[in-house]
Amino acid sequence: MHNMHKVLLLLSGGIDSAVAARLLMDQGCEIIALHFSLEPFTDDTAKQKSIAIARSLGIRRLLSIVCGLQHARIVERCTHRYYYVITRRMMLRIAEQIARNEGCGFIATGDNLGQVGSQTLANMQVISHAVSMEILRPLLANDKLETIALAKKYGTYELSIGPEMCSVLGPKHPATSSRLEVIEHEEARIDMRSLIDEQLAATEIISL
């Protein structure tokens, strides 16, 4: 049975997702965090930041998945400008499976409109189509300065600052508008199921 107050949140180690977690917790949600680490293309800095953020927020369960090699396979086989849309769809599919296993009613992200080129409404719609579970985006229309002010208020800002690692494999000019049929055609070039299964098999559970 899914608990509607239990939410699986994608925690990146950056500023936004930490604030999103706290906003949901303030509304009475129980948060389980999921972190995707781009190792071996990065070190584990983002993972360590996520652990520190989760601990400071009082999140007791964090799952971490090393996904670098699977993301690299998407770079090899798919049109590079769709990288963010395809990898995000993959991450959400994994999140949905974990959320169901954990008894969560929702997935949540720190998505913020237009903050990076790939976070447009058109792309978000295509990304959301990958899963049937409802996706909560508490920061969707926030101004970046508002979010930074909240991060400082919640004590996560210092833990979150530092280089964002998620762009290490990404294109210089990501597609800002993607169409579902184009993305589905792109995804047919890879074995999405096995990429997902590899990552689920490598899930590390960190109890805080």
What is the tens place of the pLDDT at every residue in 24-78? 999 999 999 999 999 999 999 999 999 999 999 999 999 999 999 999 999 999 9
Place of tokens 């985006």: 137
**Structural domain total, the chain:** 1
DSSP class of 203: P
CATH number for the domain that contains residue 131: 3.40.50.620
Q: Tell me how far apart the terminal alpha carbons of the chain are, to the nearest angstrom.
A: 24
- State the amino acid at position 5 in one-letter form: H
What is the tens place of the pLDDT at every residue in 150-180? 999 999 999 999 877 677 899 999 999 999 9
Q: Which domain holds residue 98?
A: 3-207
pLDDT for res 90 = 98
Measured distance CA(189)–CA(174) in Å, rounded: 19
Task: Look up the pTM and report it.
Answer: 0.96
